[in-house]
Amino acid sequence: MTTMAARKPGEVPRALSRARRIVALYGGDHPVAIHAMAELFEVVQHYMAERPSVRLFVHEESFFLETTLLLEESLQLYSLMLELGERDIAVIEFRAGLEPLELGHLVEVLNLQVADLQRAGGAAARLEHLGAPHIVVGRTRTIGDHTAPKTVDPNDVYRAALRAVEELNFRASDHLPLQYRKARLVVTSLIESVARDKLALMGMTALKDHDEETCHHSVHVTILSLMIGAQLGLDRASLSTLGLAALFHDIGKVRVDRTLLAKPGEFTPEEREIMRRHTLYGAHLLRELPDQLRLAMVVAFEHHANYDLSGYPSITVKHTPHLLARIVQVADFFDAATSSRRVYRRPMLPGDATRFILENAGKVFDPVVSKVFVQLMGLYPMGSLVELDTGELAIVVSPAEWDVTRPGVKVVTTRAGEKVEPYTVDLGMERGRKIVDVWDPVDHGLEPTAYL
């Protein structure tokens, strides 16, 4: 059996889904079904150990267990979500005194044909008839005065985003219709995480061990774009569109030959022209998206066009690219420039990339977006290895609050280069030290993300 300490909230819908499926296949008396029901009871009891009840509910195509958003389960157990919806069940509350037999009645209700359940008066009436006083089901997402705060671990969101991009790329490369439900759910969770735990997500974008053709790149661009959009004051609907557009921005690369994408050396002029076609391929792949999501097609087409339209592809019918494309361009450049390690080129240091964005604001990059981005990241973005005027080396662990040149750092070596137990210094508060130089962590054998 799984130990109580190892239980995760997502095990509740997983155990329920598994029990429903096994009972439907084998019947309730089969040993496999009996084991599945026992596991479901154990999981539910675990979460009721210190509370009088526990609620599993669906809201905005997402599963929640009390205050925890179950993102993985929302992506993987969509069939259970549909089954609940067809039976007008948005909330399942398990109350103290729950007996195993009552869970059996719940599984029976979930396996009933919808028409039969309706003739029985609905899920709540059927459970009452069967005798399940400690299970309450409802059609709305709240019971009593409870609310549904959206909390989720940023690490879970990041991993789910990677899988969503992988699936989108697979479907696009296999000429299958794009299904954007998972992407939309991931973006919704990223928006929540940006609002609640921006620092954690920013630290994840400091992971630089990837090339710009990977799923990591698309996820990083989405996170950075959402941070910029939030800082610009975009409303929720616009942020959602921006996030999806950022997630989709490089999808056209699935139509570019993989050997070219992975080429270690510089591109020939002909190869560079082929690579540039990914903007056209992306727009074509996204042309069927509905309503506001069609802006993702515009972003895929325009995110290399440049603020002054000096980039590619050639655009002559407007003065500047769409705002969302200008946001994604800044995020795309920063992550690609600081991450890609090819034989012929070392990546830019994060601080050099932010300075390049500032220096080219008004030409290559939107001037307002550029300024907002540098205010967010600082001149020494998270993960930068800096030298202090004391001779110590430090990793930037938080952006500057007021002065973009004075972030929070974690000192990792002495003046003599000896490693020390890392300790944090807020340069914005401690004015006695300042940054005098920036180094490549690779040259010093340091992995910045280990300190974030």
Per-residue pLDDT of the chain (452 residues; tens, 9 = 90+): 444 446 788 999 999 999 999 999 999 999 999 999 999 999 999 988 888 999 999 987 889 998 888 888 998 898 999 999 999 999 999 999 999 999 999 999 999 999 999 999 999 999 999 999 999 999 865 444 444 455 678 888 898 899 899 989 998 888 888 888 889 999 999 998 898 888 888 988 888 777 666 789 999 999 999 999 999 999 999 999 999 999 999 999 999 998 888 887 889 999 999 999 999 999 999 988 888 788 999 999 999 999 999 999 999 889 999 999 999 999 999 999 998 655 456 789 999 999 999 999 999 999 999 999 999 999 999 999 999 999 999 999 999 888 999 999 999 999 888 999 999 999 999 888 999 999 999 888 888 888 98
Q: Give 276-289 as a DSSP string.
A: HTHHHHHHHHTTT-
Which CATH number describes the domain made up of 154-377? Answer: 1.10.3210.10
DSSP-derived 3-state class of residue 423 = strand
Which tokens is 127 given? 């459970």
Beta bridge pairs of residue 435: 388
- Per-residue buried b or exposed e for 62-73, using 16+ beta carbons within 10 Å of the residue's own CB: bbbbbebbbbbb
Interatomic CA distance for residues 269 and 275, integer angstroms = 10
pLDDT at 141: 55
Q: What Rg value do the Cα atoms of the chain yield, rounded?
A: 26
pLDDT at 212: 64
* Domains of the chain by residue range: 4-138, 154-377, 385-451
Q: Give 66-119 as a DSSP string.
A: TTEEEHHHHHH-HHHHHHHHHTT--EEEEETT--HHHHHHHHHHHHS-HHHHHH
Q: Is 343 exposed, middle or buried (0-12, 13-18, 19+ CB in 10 A)?
A: exposed
pLDDT at 145: 42
pLDDT at 150: 57
pLDDT at 4: 43
pLDDT at 2: 42
Which tokens is 288 given? 């069927």
pTM of the predicted protein model: 0.83
pLDDT at 143: 41
